[in-house]
Amino acid sequence: MANQDYVSKPRPKKKTAKTAVRKSAPVGIGISFKNKVIIVFTLIAIIGFGYFLWVIKDQQPVVETTKTAQKNTIKKTVILPEMPAAKWSYQKGLAAKEVEQGQYEVVDKGPWKMQCASFKLNSQAQELKAKIAFVGIESNVVKSQGKNGLWYKVILGPYKHKRSAERDRHKLKRNNVNYCQIWLWR
């Protein structure tokens, strides 16, 4: 393809406002055939409904009466047979037997604690402590020296009974604080 010289070519003439505006064809002011048909059917339906209401306004509703047959009901009494005599011997033995009551004590293993997490950073432990505080439970952050360095544990407790620790753990689970473990306090 040959090179073209665009420099020597004159610029195209700008269109003026008079030549740019074209006259469009006039839009029909009338209603389309489809809309005319819909209007006619709607008017016929309204007039027909009005005529129907005018015709039925003077008519009285017809009430049919029916006679119900009354039946004489006779109450029958059902006589049940007599209760059979007891054939088993354990009934007499139970009446004479005494139940021995044993005395025992429930031994509680000791105080319980709940550990929810352990972190390398104190800020993460404090963040979890605040989240637990919003649930309404008090927690503590405890420093612990482990094999891998310093750890910050989030601990709840001590609890006298394991059941109260379980109750708090379920409350924390409902508020998206998971993985809490219950341990004996030693």
In a domain, 12, yes or no: no
How many CB atoms lie under 10 A from the CB of residue 63?
Answer: 5
Contact 114, 180 (CB under 8 A): yes
In a domain, 46, yes or no: no
Task: Give CA–CA dist 45/66, Å, rounded.
Answer: 38
Cα separation values, 105 from 102, 108, 111, 112, Å: 10, 9, 17, 19
pLDDT along the chain (186 residues), means of 10: 66 67 59 92 95 85 61 73 80 80 78 95 96 95 94 94 94 94 88
Task: Give CA–CA dist 95/77, Å, rounded.
Answer: 36
Question: For residue range 98-138, what is the model confidence (pLDDT) as tens digits?
Answer: 878 888 787 778 899 999 999 999 999 999 999 999 999 99
* Domain span including residue 150: 112-184
In a domain, 140, yes or no: yes
In a domain, 172, yes or no: yes
In a domain, 177, yes or no: yes
Task: Give CA–CA dist 138/168, Å, rounded.
Answer: 10
Contact 141, 129 (CB under 8 A): yes
Q: Domain holding 160: CATH number? A: 3.30.70.1070
Question: For residue range 143-153, what is the model confidence (pLDDT) as tens digits?
Answer: 999 899 999 99
Count of domains for the chain: 1
Whole-structure pTM value:
0.44
